[in-house]
Amino acid sequence: MLRLPAWSLSAGRVGHRLSLVRHPQVKARDLLPGNPVTVAALLLAPQDALKALRPPERRLQLPARGEAQALAGLRQDGEVLRPEVHADDAWLSRVRGSPAPAEVCWSGNWLLASVGPAPSRAGKDVIAHSLPNCDLWGMTGIYWHDSALTHVTPPGHPERVARAEAVHAALSELEGLEWHDAPRAARAEVERCHPARHFDRIEAAIPESSFVALDADTHVSPGSLDAALHAVGGCNAAVDAVIAGEARTAFVAMRPPGHHAETETAMGFCLFGTAAIAAKRALDEHGLSRVAVLDFDVHHGNGTQDLLWNEERTLFASSHQMPLYPGTGAAHETGAHDNVLNAPLAPMTGSAEMRRAWGDIILPALDDFAPELVIVSAGFDAHASDPLANLNWTEQDFAWVTAAICEVAEAHAGGRVVSTLEGGYDLAALAASVAAHVIALREHIG
């Protein structure tokens, strides 16, 4: 199965889509907003755009003349595809002999397909028609590792192995996801946000058998450090992949969760601040300058807030039930640089209040912040069926908020969204809500 990493951007007119499948010599960073080689530049003036590449990329082949003309002809049509394939004659004749979509032509290494004004799915239809052996959906990554099953908590504990099994089963039912191993993070990754002594304390607490309680809620078993490191490593790998353009969106289906872990304190079922660590990695390793971390878990992400409180390159925004554990998350907690935004929700409220909080407060702030990457702390315990809290969200609400987040990411961040599992303790609601969330991430690919 050939993998086609791809970008899909909204074109100038409503109803038009532009898709660009990466040529092996086009570097992902060349397609980031602000770079001279944007999709639009390639469409409108490919020769000029390619000449503007920085010196190391000058080796990129300039497109053949015929292709430039074809590109010019596509300005208003909608769809341009550039697969990483070298087709043989039989393949070409099959493509050329195919009925609609409208127009497919081949030039050098480049395949161009025009499908005219089209719904977003049309680009996929073109690829499906032209490249039957391609994986058309390889743009939403799922990061998983079996160590999610080795972090064992005491009997009756809500944050349990069965959660990972339920999430894995729900995602396995879905098509169009690209599964990846969540690698084990090095301790240096954890130390982006936590001091070495925090790591040492967790490591020293890991028992040879059974469990050890770090506090009334948070336990470790022999497999816990491994699981937590694979959760951190999975989220980091997802960030690396979306920044490299190997995926557009990603979901990290790992446990233990992370958003309650403060700088030096494991708490609330969490050992390391997975989402905050991934945000720091994006800033410090990849050179991004604005990363948003959004948290719709029903509990306030006090840990993420603590870890990013002084980090002016991030926006941390959270909706959560209040009052509820851990007690933080009042609207007046705004970070050292006005970089924290809390939108508490009253108990027993549901879709309308949640959509107001996100639609009127969080999403406009996200839009103003103009993130280059969005990381989501995706907890599903605001669901009406959840036993640990009293909000009344539905699966459709999780789909709605996901799509709304993706829309802002589309406008500013090239659509890059990495989501990592936090809470959600009713297994059926968790499974259905994760599925709704990941389908929204996948559909957003367009």
Considering the complex, state which of residue 122 and residue 253 has its C-beta at the smaller distance from Zn ion: 253
Minimum separation from the CB atom of position 333 to Zn ion (A): 18
Give the Cα separation of 257 and 159 in Å (integer).
9
Is 178 or 397 the residue whose CB approaches Zn ion more closely? 397
Name which of 168 and 255 has its Cβ closer to Zn ion.
255
- DSSP per-residue letters across 229-281: HHHHHHHHHHHHHHHHTS-SEEEE--SS--TT-BTTB-BTTBSS-HHHHHHHH
SS3 of residue 177 by DSSP: coil
Question: Which residue has the CB atom at the shortest distance from Zn ion?
Answer: 423
Q: Considering the complex, what minimum distance in angstroms separates the CB of residue 152 from Zn ion?
A: 19
Give the C-alpha separation, 311 to 336, whole Å. Answer: 8
> What DSSP character marks residue 23?
P
Which of 398, 397, 394 minimizes the C-alpha distance to 419?
398
| The token pair that represents 342 in the structure block | 């809390």
Known catalytic membership, residue 260: yes
Task: Using alpha carbons, list the distances in angstroms from residue 355 to 32, 156, 286, 306, 352.
Answer: 30, 33, 33, 26, 5
Query: Distance (Å, rounded) from C-alpha 363 to C-alpha 294?
Result: 10
Contact set with Zn ion (CB under 5 A) = 297, 299, 379, 381, 423
The residue (of 225 and 298) whose beta carbon lies closer to Zn ion is: 298
In the numeric block, which tokens belong to residue 56? 């190391």
Minimum distance from residue 423 beta carbon to Zn ion (Å): 3
Report the alpha-carbon distance of residue 325 to residue 113 in Å, rounded.
Answer: 53
Q: How far is the CB of 320 from Zn ion (least distance, A)?
A: 8
Among candidate residues 84, 134, 91, the one with its CA nearest the CA of residue 110:
84
CA-based radius of gyration for the chain: 23
Q: Is 147 left (phi over 0), alpha (psi -120 to 50) or beta?
A: alpha
Q: Give yes or no for a contact between 35 and 57, defined as CB atoms under 8 angstroms apart.
A: no
Question: Residue 165 corresponds to which tokens in the numbers above?
Answer: 């099994």
Q: Which two tokens stand for residue 103?
A: 């127009």
Nearer residue to Zn ion within complex by CB, 138 or 379 = 379
280's CB contacts (< 8 A; 6+ apart) are 192, 193, 311
Nearer Cβ to Zn ion, position 57 or 333? 333
Give the active site residue among 16, 260, 299, 300.
Answer: 260
The DSSP secondary structure of 135-182, one letter per residue, reads: ETTTTEEEEE-GGGGT----TT-SS-HHHHHHHHHHHHT-SS-EEEE-
Shortest separation between residue 379's beta carbon and Zn ion, angstroms:
4
Beta bridge partners of 318: 295, 342
**Shortest Å distance, C-beta 298 to Zn ion:** 5
Minimum CB distance to Zn ion, residue 13 (Å)? 42
414 vs 423, beta carbon nearer Zn ion:
423
Catalytic residues: 260
